[in-house]
């Protein structure tokens, strides 16, 4: 057993935990605009800057579009860049999210997941980041403040890996995690600094025929993200897909390495299975809901129900093989979506999970539960009813209502 | 597309340019081509300054200007600026 690093127990809300992780991660540039429920991240980090506790350049931008533009620009020079946002802020970044991933700029961003207007709502759901699903960003969702802290540190290593070179967002549920005080074990500054290291830059061939580090540098000029028309655009997009595939292995590797330092790991880094070995009925969810869900699974297990849970820690890249293998023995699966795809056949997580199960031989029953929109609380009793429904489906041998709304007044 | 184009495995990431813009001929974008009447042209060189692509050159050895049609996109700014209306845009 390898000894883990000394750590400090702190009382931190999720946002504070994120700010603290960024403080320790030797970040060169932070460009951010405050928006509820991400505000504390920006406030707290501004304090670090004002107090001289970090050497980071903090850019007070005038909008989230500018926040992402500045983060991309900083990252393109080879700097380590971080930003944070939520809801409408993330929506305003939409255009720049694609530019950032297309420029292969490994910006790390915390998203304090929040509903989108209208009607106006500041509370937690996944509508904001799910709407950016196809923007070419790695997406991870934290279960608690501790994981938010750990995932931010890991995200720099994942994003900056030369086989990945993609921006990464870490989601933490608005208010449920962002504003709730928890015990967080923080690594010492030097251990985080050693773990994230100095950003390494792969070499690329420039128009001058020089093989130089991949960054904007007047001494070795290069052009990133210029026009690529019918003859090359497609090839660049295919490269991004390959980078996503590479991220699957990198996320697992970083999860293992981080466990050696901190003693903490989150499943294999991609998915976290809870009592799935012999489970007959199982749910799949993202984020903080998994915490409540584990309690429910414990209770069901005490009652003799073979219940399990699969938490998707990483949504992009989608861990297809890991999900298939985790659900191999499960007979009925409930996929939980904290966002809606209006007019679609269920929520986004449901689309993808049921789709990947099409090619398996086990063919479990798969139902969708849309829940918690606009921060609506989801009780253990409601979550338990999901498993009870899965058991009814198994008994009946058919699914009557594949898409259900949990906790909605009908 | 020709067989000389590189595959996605061979190109640098982020669309980093592999060749100089002088090797990327943009002249085939044009619909209209500037045609100059040398008799009307006073060699004031305003067109060389206004051309957004730097596609009109002063050739001192000839004492005349020369259009580089490999880069002229046919925007017509030269024709618009010409004080003697020596340049007209013709459908190529």
| pLDDT (0 to 100) of residue B22 | 85
Which residues does A335 contact at the CB level (< 8 Å), separation at least 6?
Answer: A283, A284, A346, A347, A349, A350, A353, A354, A366, A367, A368, A369
Instruction: Find tokens 């971080």 and name the residue.
Output: A82
> Which strand (E) or helix (H) includes residue A323?
helix A320-326
Task: Answer whether residue B87 shows pLDDT above 90.
Answer: yes
Over range A142-156, report the average pLDDT: 98
Q: Which chain B residue is nearest to residue A228, measuring alpha carbons?
A: B15
Per-residue DSSP letters for A332-361?
EEEEEESS--TTSSS-HHHHHHHHHHTTSS
- In 3D space, the residue among A313, A325, A312, A319 whose CA is nearest the CA of residue A276 turns out to be A325
Mean pLDDT, residues A332-336 taken together: 98
- Provide the 3-class DSSP secondary structure of residue B57: strand
Q: Which 227-286 residues of chain A touch chain B by CB within 8 A? A: 227-228, 230-232, 234-236, 238-239, 242-243
Where are chain A's structural domains? 7-201+227-262, 271-406
Q: What pLDDT shows up at residue A62? A: 96
- pLDDT tens by residue, A99-114: 999 999 999 999 999 9
The average pLDDT across B80-84 equals 98
Kindly state the percentage of chain A with pLDDT values over 70.
100
Report the pLDDT averaged over residues A296-325: 98
Residue of A76, A98, A224, A241 to mutate when probing chain B, most B C-beta within 10 A: A224
Spatial separation of the C-alpha atoms in residues A302 and A290, rounded to whole Å: 18
pLDDT, mean of residues A158-167: 98
Same fold, A7-201+227-262 and A271-406: yes
Which CATH fold topology does A271-406 show?
Rossmann fold (3.40.50)
Rounded mean pLDDT, B6-30: 89
Closest CA to A140 of A167, A122, A121: A167
Cβ(B53)–Cβ(B25) below 8 Å: no
Beta-carbon pairs below 8 A across chains A and B: 63
Residue in A with minimal Cα distance to B5: A231
Return the ∠ at Cα B19 (arms to B13 and B21), rounded to 5°.
115
pLDDT tens digits, one per residue of A210-257: 999 999 999 999 999 998 989 899 999 999 999 999 999 999 999 999
The alpha helices in A25-80, defined as continuous H runs, are 39-50, 64-76
In angstroms, the CA A288 to CA A1 distance is 30
Reported as a pLDDT band with limits 50, 70 and 90, residue A196 is: very high
Residues 6+ apart with CB under 8 A from A150: A21, A258, A262, A264, A266
The topology under which CATH files domain A7-201+227-262 is Rossmann fold (3.40.50)
Report the pLDDT averaged over residues B61-76: 96
Q: What is the band of A13 on the pLDDT scale with cuts at 50, 70, 90?
A: very high
Distance from CA of A188 to the nearest CA of B (A): 35
pLDDT of B4: 79
The structural domains of chain B, ordered by start, are 27-91 (3.30.70.20)
Residue in A with minimal Cα distance to B2: A231
User: What is the reported pLDDT for A354?
Assistant: 97
Among B71, B67, B85, B75, smallest CA distance to B31 is for B75
What pLDDT is stored for residue B92 in this prediction?
Answer: 65
Cβ distance B16 to A214 less than 8 Å, yes or no, reads yes
Looking from the CA of B84 toward its CB, the CA atoms found within 13 Å total 13
% chain A with pLDDT above 90: 97
Any chain A CB within 8 A of the CB of B28?
no
A-chain residue closest to B10, CA distance: A235
Residue B58's DSSP bridge partners are B65
Contact between chains at A207 and B18 (C-beta distance less than 8 A) = yes
> What kind and span of H or E run contains A20?
helix A14-24
Interface subset of A 114-173, CB within 8 angstroms of B: 165
CB contact under 8 A, A236 and B8: yes
Chain centre to alpha carbon of residue B19: 18
C-alpha A182: how far from chain center: 20
| Residue A370 · residue A407 · CB < 8 Å | no
The arithmetic mean of pLDDT across residues B18-43, rounded, is: 92
Average pLDDT over residues A118-137: 98
Least confident window among A186-190, A218-222, B3-7 = B3-7
- Encode pLDDT of A82-94 as tens digits: 999 999 999 999 9
Using CA atoms, how far apart are residues B67 and B88, in angstroms rounded to an integer? 13
Instruction: Give the residue among A13, A36, A17, A32 at the shortest CA–CA distance from A123.
Output: A36
Interchain proximity A205–B5, CB inside 8 Å:
no
Question: What is the distance of C-alpha A120 from the center of its chain?
Answer: 24
Interchain contact, A225 vs B14, CB within 8 Å: yes
Whole-number pLDDT of residue A128: 98
The C-alpha atoms of residue A338 and residue A312 are separated, in whole angstroms, by 13
Q: Is the pLDDT of residue A1 over 50?
A: no
Per-residue pLDDT, averaged over A140-164, amounts to: 98
Geometric angle at alpha carbon A237, from A236 and A239, rounded to 5°: 65
> A3 pLDDT exceeds 80?
no
Over residues B35-46, the pLDDT tens digits come to: 999 999 999 999
Q: Which residue of B has its CA nearest to A101?
A: B14
Cβ of residue A407 closer than 8 Å to a chain B Cβ? no
Q: Give the residue with greater pLDDT, A256 vs A362.
A: A256
Task: Give the confidence band of A179 by pLDDT, cuts at 50, 70, 90.
Answer: very high
C-alpha distance from residue A400 to each of A338, A348, A361, A389, A403 (Å)? 22, 20, 22, 10, 9
Average pLDDT over residues A375-381: 98
According to DSSP, the residues that pair with A60 across neighbouring strands are A32
| Predicted structure pTM score | 0.92
Asked if A266 and A272 count as a contact pair (C-beta separation under 8 A), the reply is yes
- Which chain A residues contact residue B18 at CB under 8 A? 205-207
Q: Judge whether residue A406 has pLDDT over 90.
A: yes
Distance (Å) from the alpha carbon of B34 to chain A's nearest alpha carbon: 25
**Strand ranges inside A119-213, DSSP E:** 138-141, 168-173, 181-187, 203-205, 211-213
The number of helix segments (H) and strand segments (E) in chain A equals: 12, 17
Does any CB of chain A come closer than 8 Å to the CB of residue B15?
yes
């Amino acid at each position: 057993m390898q000894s883990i690093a000394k750590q400090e127990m702190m009382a931190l809300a999720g946002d504070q935990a994120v700010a603290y992780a960024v403080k320790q991660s030797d970040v060169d540039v932070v460009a951010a605009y405050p928006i509820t429920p991400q505000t504390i991240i920006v406030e707290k980090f501004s304090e670090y800057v004002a107090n001289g506790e970090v050497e980071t350049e903090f850019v007070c931008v005038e909008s989230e579009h500018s926040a992402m533009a500045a983060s991309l620009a900083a990252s393109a020079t080879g700097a380590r860049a971080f930003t944070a946002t939520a809801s409408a802020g993330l929506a305003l970044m939409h255009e720049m999210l694609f530019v950032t991933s297309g420029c292969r700029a490994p910006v790390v961003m915390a998203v304090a997941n929040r509903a989108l207007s209208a009607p106006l709502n500041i509370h937690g759901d996944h509508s904001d980041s799910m709407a950016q699903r196809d923007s070419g960003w790695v997406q991870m969702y934290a279960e608690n403040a501790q994981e938010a802290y750990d995932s931010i540190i890991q995200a720099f290593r994942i994003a900056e890996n030369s086989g990945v070179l993609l921006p990464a967002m870490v989601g933490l549920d608005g208010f449920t995690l962002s504003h709730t005080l928890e015990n967080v074990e923080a690594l010492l500054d030097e251990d985080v600094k050693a773990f994230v290291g100095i950003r390494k830059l792969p070499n690329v061939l420039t128009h001058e025929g020089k093989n130089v580090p991949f960054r904007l540098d007047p001494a070795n000029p290069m052009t990133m993200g210029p026009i690529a028309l019918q003859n090359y655009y497609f090839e660049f997009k295919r490269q991004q897909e390959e980078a996503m595939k590479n991220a699957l292995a990198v996320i697992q590797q970083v999860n293992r390495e981080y466990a050696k330092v901190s003693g903490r790991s989150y499943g294999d880094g991609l998915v976290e299975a809870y009592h799935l070995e012999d489970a007959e009925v199982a749910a799949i969810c993202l984020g903080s809901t998994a915490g409540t869900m584990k309690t429910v699974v414990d209770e069901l297990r005490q009652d003799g129900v073979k219940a399990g849970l699969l938490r998707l820690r990483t949504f992009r890249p989608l861990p297809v093989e890991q999900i298939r293998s985790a659900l191999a023995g499960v007979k009925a699966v409930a996929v939980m979506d904290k966002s809606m795809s209006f007019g679609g056949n269920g929520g986004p997580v449901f689309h993808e999970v049921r789709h990947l199960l099409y090619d398996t031989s086990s063919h479990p029953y798969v139902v969708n539960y849309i829940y918690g929109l606009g921060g609506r609380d989801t009780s253990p009793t409601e979550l338990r009813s999901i498993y009870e429904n899965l058991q009814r489906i198994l008994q009946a041998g058919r699914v009557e209502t594949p898409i259900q709304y949990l906790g909605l007044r009908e | 597309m020709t067989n000389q184009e590189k595959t996605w495995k061979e190109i640098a990431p982020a669309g980093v340019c592999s060749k100089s813009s002088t090797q990327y001929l943009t002249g085939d974008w044009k619909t209209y081509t500037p045609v100059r009447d040398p008799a009307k042209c006073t060699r004031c060189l305003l067109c060389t300054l206004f051309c957004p692509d730097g596609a009109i050159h002063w050739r001192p050895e000839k004492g005349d200007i020369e259009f580089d049609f490999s880069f002229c996109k046919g925007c017509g700014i030269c024709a618009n600026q010409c004080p003697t209306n020596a340049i007209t845009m013709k459908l190529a």
